[in-house]
Structure 1
Amino acid sequence: MGAPLFKIRNLVEEHNIAVCSSNYALYGDISERVMSVLGSNAPGHEIYSIDECFLDLDRLAVADLTEWCRDLRQTTLQWTGIPVSVGVGPTKILAKLANRLAKKSAKAGGVLDLVHHPNWIETALRKTPIGDVWGVGRRWSAMLEERGIRTAHDLANAQDGWVRQRMGIVGLRTVHELRGLVCHALEDQPPPKQTTCCSRTFGTAIFDKGQVHDAVMSFAERAAEKVRHAGQVAGAVQLFVRTDPFAQDMPQKSISGSATFHRPTSDTRDITAAVLRIFERIWRDGYGWRKAGVLLLDLTAPGAAPASLFDVMEAPDDGLMQAIDRINDRYGRGTARLGLAQKDAEWRMRRENLSPSFTTRWGDIPAAKMG
């Protein structure tokens, strides 16, 4: 759980708590390094999130799987400096359940193997609250607890008909996975994204239309870059802007709008033009805007959408976008842009406590002097 810094300022000062601003470039780079180490040591792997990865161990020929997992933890720590926990199970849900217990148990030492110790599964199920089961959301958790199902063990022993009636096929698959039946296969190649988003919370409430305009144009540009790097095109775009829900002394407002492209595109010019039209249509004066974002929707591979008359009339010109991407890939993001917002713009996030980007910025690498 998280909380706005201003709400816990007294605790920070009382206990001398270290405060670090978000450093997404550093987090992303470290995550890639960890995933690379994990993936290179297993026959197959699926990157589930920035800090979670599934490994396929079925084809792994080792005498002692627990010891192999401990060696993997040590290798990851040595090569990246990041401690990890390893949970082994016959299904994805049991593996996540084992991972949760491996983190919390000093006795486990960061590794819990439920495959070669199946007698531990029942104990693990009993120790896992229903709200901590992967796939059980808040709504289901509240409903299940009202009916006396408070642990993963309770859910695993629920009747299939009752589960399907109240939780659908998705809930039934969760129950089957808790029983050791594989319902979620490892995805070595995850399905292409259907949407991508670029959003930010501003450093302070922004009333000026021009500053919010600069922000959303920057977000549109970044979203377009992400889509191109994924080898996709977008069929639609959505823009949202909202005030600070924690500033109860200020007027509250949330505005949004969307547009559809007549031809799916990843061209920054098309996307920023559409966002500008939406922005002019939905803008409202008199509010202190605190967050905005641009979502690109209906993502597909280029050429996947059916051709239309517009495709003949307006053939896409990708040369400029390719040139910009090559320059930015070589010299760093933001080197070449269609329109550059001020680097000291007020809408940028407040990052007074930003940690150094040791792995992605030459100037942040500590210097060692000899002699």
Structure 2
Amino acid sequence: MRSDQVFALIDCNSFYASCERVFRPDLAKTPIVVLSNNDGCVIARSYDAKPFVKMGEPYFQCRERLKRHGVVAFSSNYALYGDMSERVMSIIESMVPAAEVYSIDECFADLTGVQGSLTQFGRDVRAKVLQRTGIPVGVGIARTKTLAKLANHTAKRLQAHTGGVVDITTDFERDWVLRNTEVKEVWGIGRRMTEHLQSMGIQKAMDLAKADPRMLRDKFSVVVEKTARELAGVSCLELDEAAPPKQEICCSRMFGKRLSELAPVKQAVATYTGRAAEKLRSQGSVCKRMRVSIRTGMFNPDELHHAQGALVELPYPTNDTLLLTRAATNAVELVFREGYRYSKAEVLLLDLRQPGEFTDDLFAISQPVARDKLMSVVDQINDRYGRGTMRTGSAPRTPVWGMRRDLLSQSYTTRIDQLWKVT
């Protein structure tokens, strides 16, 4: 471990709700929740909405309660959230020596070698992101990634005292945070692991930091051992600047309504296949195998239940939307059954490799160069004019089975016809 190594975790506060507030300044002091696909459950809450609703609570159960307390609900607008995330991350990356985008609203940064006050540097990052995007962030700074995560948690928990930035690079500050943090708040320690650790007398993060690492490895896993070492100040996790390509790509959605006919189910699968193929090309991969599955709702005792999938071997490694869509829709015909009301479809791309990694025989066919060029043009058009501008004919623009999003905000940053208007 380098003694001067410093990590930071920059985390957007209530990210989905904050994105909605950027373009709705009238809601600056109004509690906000964001709902899952088909307006099903609460998946995000602003801080002031937390007393009124639990995470994951079904919207139909809490709708009236939210109205009584003045809480505003939004359908999930992933196009908006993804674009705002890219803006936040690009600002952070421009200010730090190296960065690892950990999730849509979190970024690790390497601050090793940064001169001056690290707390002030964190405040500068926070101010710049807020000024340029309107998104508030918290910054945790420490000698390891796990401690940086804990520092960030403290920055948000004690927002009024910390100003959203906590630096625990010194032993005194680190020990204070460890003594005042429950072990369940440590990154990577889930509910079951918390119960096991508490049964051993490990209640606080400090207890875990002082535990015998070898004992933790023997009793649990090397992951828990590394966590304990990181809490003690020994860096075990490096910054991953480039995420490795995914080994599987899945596109799965609930339908906006039950489907009992083959044609709309095939349309849905064609749409999901197109999205999966976009993800495949974005990481420069091809696939040789895919699985297509459909199912009914599984919890209504008054409905017939059916779930079935088909594994498809492709003629050659490909990222061609047309070939993948044809194979997927043909598979739907094999698994679809009359008399059922289907609620969900899934397209899973398997056996992913980089082009050239598949070892076929000398005479095996491969994806035509013309298809590579065609897919490149399709992606360029969709990047410029919006997803779905160019798509297969079997994927309709406004499907009857589309997700129910009655409370959807506008795509202020990704659609020219929905630009923010100030009057």
Provide TM-score, normalisation by structure 1.
0.91
8 Å CA contact 2:292–2:347 kept in 1: the answer is: yes
State yes or no: 1:58 paired with 2:118: no
For each residue in 1:252-279, what CA deviation from the matched residue of structure 2 results, as whole angstroms up to 9, or x when unmatched? 4443333343532101122123322432
For each residue in 1:133-169, what CA deviation from the matched residue of structure 2 results, as whole angstroms up to 9, or x when unmatched? 2122333233223333233222222222321122221
Q: Secondary structure at the match of 1:298?
A: strand
8 Å CA contact 2:273–2:328 kept in 1: the answer is: yes
Q: Distance in 1 between matches of 2:251 and 2:308?
A: 16
Q: Distance in 2 between matches of 1:121 and 1:54?
A: 18
Alignment length (residue pairs)? 367
**Shift in Å at residue 251 of structure 1?**
4.2
Q: 1:210 aligns with which of 263, 283, 292?
A: 263
State yes or no: 1:276 paired with 2:329: yes
State yes or no: 1:240 paired with 2:299: no
For each residue in 1:156-200, what CA deviation from the matched residue of structure 2 results, as whole angstroms up to 9, or x when unmatched? 222223211222212211111111111110011222222222222
Q: Distance in 2 between matches of 1:360 and 1:179?
A: 44
8 Å CA contact 1:263–1:310 kept in 2: the answer is: no
Any residues of structure 2 matched to 1:184-333 within 5 Å, and which?
184-244=237-297, 247=300, 249-309=302-362, 311-312=364-365, 315=368, 317-333=371-387
Distance 1:14 1:208, change over 3 A: farther
**What runs of 5+ residues in structure 2 fail to find an aligned partner?**
1-54
**Shift in Å at residue 319 of structure 1?**
3.2
8 Å CA contact 2:317–2:366 kept in 1: the answer is: no
**Shift in Å at residue 246 of structure 1?**
5.9
Q: Which amino acid aligns with 1:308?
A: D
Name the residue aligned to 2:25.
Answer: none
Any residues of structure 2 matched to 1:1-371 within 5 Å, and which?
1-61=55-115, 63-105=116-158, 106-115=160-169, 117-244=170-297, 247=300, 249-309=302-362, 311-312=364-365, 315=368, 317-368=371-422
For each residue in 1:301-353, what CA deviation from the matched residue of structure 2 results, as whole angstroms up to 9, or x when unmatched? 11111133563477564233233223323333222222243333222111111
Distance 1:332 1:340, change over 3 A: farther
Distance 1:12 1:289, change over 3 A: farther
Q: Distance in 2 between matches of 1:119 and 1:58?
A: 20
Q: Distance in 2 between matches of 1:308 and 1:168?
A: 42
Q: Secondary structure at the match of 1:237?
A: strand
Q: Which amino acid aligns with 1:173?
A: K
For each residue in 1:76-108, what CA deviation from the matched residue of structure 2 results, as whole angstroms up to 9, or x when unmatched? 100000000000111111100110111110211
Q: Distance in 1 between matches of 2:196 and 2:136?
A: 36
8 Å CA contact 1:240–1:294 kept in 2: the answer is: yes
Q: Distance in 2 between matches of 1:243 and 1:8?
A: 25
Q: Distance in 2 between matches of 1:204 and 1:318?
A: 36
Q: Secondary structure at the match of 1:188?
A: coil
Distance 1:321 1:151, change over 3 A: same
Q: Distance in 2 between matches of 1:36 and 1:266?
A: 28
Q: Distance in 2 between matches of 1:229 and 1:216?
A: 20
**Shift in Å at residue 248 of structure 1?**
5.5
8 Å CA contact 2:151–2:168 kept in 1: the answer is: yes
Q: Which amino acid aligns with 1:70?
A: R
Distance 1:141 1:252, change over 3 A: farther
8 Å CA contact 2:386–2:415 kept in 1: the answer is: no
8 Å CA contact 1:238–1:256 kept in 2: the answer is: yes
Q: Which amino acid aligns with 1:80?
A: T
Q: Distance in 2 between matches of 1:145 and 1:238?
A: 42
After superposition, the CA RMSD in angstroms is: 2.2
8 Å CA contact 2:293–2:335 kept in 1: the answer is: no
Q: Secondary structure at the match of 1:38?
A: helix
8 Å CA contact 1:217–1:276 kept in 2: the answer is: yes
Distance 1:274 1:145, change over 3 A: farther
For each residue in 1:223-266, what CA deviation from the matched residue of structure 2 results, as whole angstroms up to 9, or x when unmatched? 11221122111232222333445645544444333334353210
Q: Which amino acid aligns with 1:15?
A: H
Q: Distance in 1 between matches of 2:184 and 2:78?
A: 28
8 Å CA contact 1:202–1:346 kept in 2: the answer is: no
Q: Which amino acid aligns with 2:410?
A: P
- Percent identical among aligned pairs is 44
Moved more, 246-255 or 66-75: 246-255
**Shift in Å at residue 37 of structure 1?**
0.7
Q: Distance in 2 between matches of 1:260 and 1:139?
A: 39
Q: Distance in 2 between matches of 1:182 and 1:286?
A: 58
Q: Distance in 1 between matches of 2:363 and 2:337?
A: 33
